[in-house]
Amino acid sequence: MTTDEASKLLDGLLEQLATVEHERWSHWQRYMHGKGAKQSDGSLLIPPDLVKQWERQFATPYGDLTDKEKESDREQVRKYLPVIADALSNSGKR
């Protein structure tokens, strides 16, 4: 693969992966908004148990997460793999 071909491949992947990321982020926001209590000013109040859980999780390196938490992260990454696999399998056909 030439540098130009690799650059085109990466440019195409960027948009496809950005689409997956937006879908992942949107799903997370819907989840968070569903867990919060909407206030009269439009803000959300997140229950303290979830704040505590999420603060612990984002302060924890991946390797130190529980198996269940790691699997949750893997589940999200699996959404990217079909796009990457398709790009790799089609890279030799261009």
3-state SS of the chain is CCHHHHHHHHHHHHHHHHHHHHHHHHHHHHHHHHHCEECCCCCEECCHHHHHHHHHHHCCCHHHCCHHHHHHHHHHHCCCHHHHHHHHHHHCCC
What pTM, to 2 d.p., does this model score?
A: 0.77
pLDDT given for residue 94 in this prediction:
56
Q: How far is CA 57 from the centre of its chain?
A: 15
What is the mean pLDDT of the segment spanning 21-33?
Answer: 95
What percent of the chain is modeled with pLDDT above 70?
96
What is the mean pLDDT of the segment spanning 65-85?
Answer: 95
31 — pLDDT class (breaks 50, 70, 90): very high
Lowest model confidence (mean pLDDT) among 21-35, 50-64, 76-90: 76-90
Domain with 11, as residue range(s), is: 3-91
**What's the number of domains the chain is made of?**
1
Residue 73 structure tokens: 């992260």
pLDDT given for residue 78 in this prediction:
95
Sign of torsion over alpha carbons 50, 53, 58, 59: positive
pLDDT given for residue 12 in this prediction:
82
